[in-house]
Amino acid sequence: MSLPRTERFVSQDALFDLNSYDYSLPEDRIAQTPAEPRDASRLLVWSVGTGDIRHRHFRDIVDYLRPEDLLVLNDTRVLPARLLGTRVPGGGRAEVFLLRPLARQEDGSVGADFSLWQALVRPGRKLHAGAEVRVGDRTLYVEEEEPEGIRRVRISGTDVLAFLNAFGHVPLPPYIHGDGDMWRASYQTVFACREGSVAAPTASLHFTPALLDRIDALGVRRAWVTLHVGLGTFRPVKSQDIRDHVIHEEPCEIPEAAAEAVRECRARGGRVIASGTTVARTLETMAAGDGLIRAGSRDTGLYIYPGFRFQVVDALITNFHLPKSSLLMLVAALAANLDSGREPGGPAEARALSSLLAVYELAVREGYRFFSFGDAMFIQR
C-alpha cells in the first residue's frame, strides 16, 4: 500500500520546533508485555521516497535483506541498575538509579569493577554529597553532585556485578507498568554480552537465534558494535528549539572487525543496516567519510536531527519512539537522507518529517504496539 497523507504537514519553518515532533498516541497502544516469541512482533516496512508501506511480522525481515548487506548489532548487556535501599543514618527509603559506569581502562573501555557511577537519586533533596545509602550488604556513597540532578556514586566492596545481579532491579521505562524483574530475560537481546547499559537497545529485542540463523543462511554478514545505553538515549528533549538540546555522552566502541566489515560491504555494493538508533549513532560517530568508519572507543554525545548527513547508515531497523524524543528526530533525519528528493512539496527535511508522522498515524490506526516492548519498523530507500 502507499503511504496516506498525514493529517498535518510540517513546514520548513517549523522543522526545529519541538511541537512538530508530537503525535497523538492512545495509551492502549503502549506495549506492556513483549511479543512471544520475539520475532512474532509486527514489522512495518517503509520504503522512503516511493512511500510504499508493507505490514509484515518481524520474522519476515529476511524478505528485505540482500546477500550483499551488512547487519550491524549492538552487543551491550543491560544491568539491573535500579537499587532500592535505605538512607544512613535515618533509615528512610532511597532509590539509586545507575546511569553510566565511570571507572575506565586506559583503552577507554569500562573498568571491570563497575564501582563508580553517574546516577539519579531519590529523594534528591536528602541525598547530597556525603550521603550514604544501604542496599543489601553494600553501602553506596554519594561522592559528588553534578548538573541536572545527577550524582556521582561509589559502590563499596568488590565484584559489583554480582551485587547488582543479586540486589538490583530491571530499570524498565516508566510507561511500562508492573514489576520489571519478571521481564529480566525479555528486556535483554539474545546476543547481549558486554555489561554496561541501563536500558535495552530495543530494536534488537525482536531477534531470535533461529531468525539470526536464517539471516546468516541468506549470506548477510553481521558486525558488532557497542554503545552502553545511558541518559543520553532516553532523556527527553525539553528545549522548544530542538537544536538547543544536548545529549549526555555515552561510551561506544567499534572493533576493527566491524570497521573492516563496513569497508567490505561498501566494496561489494551492499547496504549497511543499523539495528537500532544506538547502532546508527555509533556508526555515525566513528564516520571517516565515503561511507567508512574508524575503529576505536570514545564517548559520544552525537545528536542527530533533520539536517544531519548520514555517512554510513543506509537502512534502519527501529521501534516506534516517544513523541518529542531525540530518537524520533534521528528517524526523521534518516528519512530525509533516504528521500530521493524528486517529489514536490518543499525541502526534503520537512517532507520527510511529514511522511514520518503519516507513518506513525497509520501505525496507530493499524494497531501497532509502541515503544520498548512494541513492534518494529524497517526503513529503507
pLDDT, mean over the chain:
92
CA-to-CA distance for 274 and 315, rounded, in angstroms?
6
Residues with Cβ within 8 Å of 125's Cβ and at least 6 positions away in sequence, in order, are: none
pLDDT band at 75 (very low <50, low <70, confident <90, very high): very high
- Alpha-carbon dihedral sign for residues 108, 110, 112, 115: positive
Q: How many CB atoms lie within 10 A of CB 339?
A: 19
Residues with Cβ within 8 Å of 293's Cβ and at least 6 positions away in sequence, in order, are: 254, 258, 259, 262, 283, 286, 287, 312
% the chain with pLDDT above 90 = 81
Asked whether 81 and 288 are in contact (CB, 8 A), the reply is: no
CATH 3.40.50.1980 fits 12-77+184-380, yes or no: no
pLDDT band at 342 (very low <50, low <70, confident <90, very high): very low
CA-to-CA distance for 122 and 271, rounded, in angstroms?
45
Q: What would the mean pLDDT of 112-134 be, rounded to a whole number?
A: 92
pLDDT band at 4 (very low <50, low <70, confident <90, very high): low
pLDDT band at 112 (very low <50, low <70, confident <90, very high): low
The answer to whether residue 322 scores a pLDDT higher than 90 is yes
Domain ranges of the chain: 12-77+184-380, 81-169
Beta-ladder partners of 44: 55, 377
- Maximum average pLDDT range among 142-146, 288-292, 341-345: 142-146
Q: How many CB atoms lie within 10 A of CB 209?
A: 10
CA-to-CA distance for 347 and 331, rounded, in angstroms?
16
CA-to-CA distance for 295 and 199, rounded, in angstroms?
24
Beta-ladder partners of 120: 97, 150
CATH 2.40.10.240 fits 81-169, yes or no: yes
Q: Which has more confidence, 40 or 104? A: 40
Identity at 339, one-letter amino acid code: D
The answer to whether residue 344 scores a pLDDT higher than 50 is no
Give the pLDDT confidence score for residue 6 in this predicted structure. 56
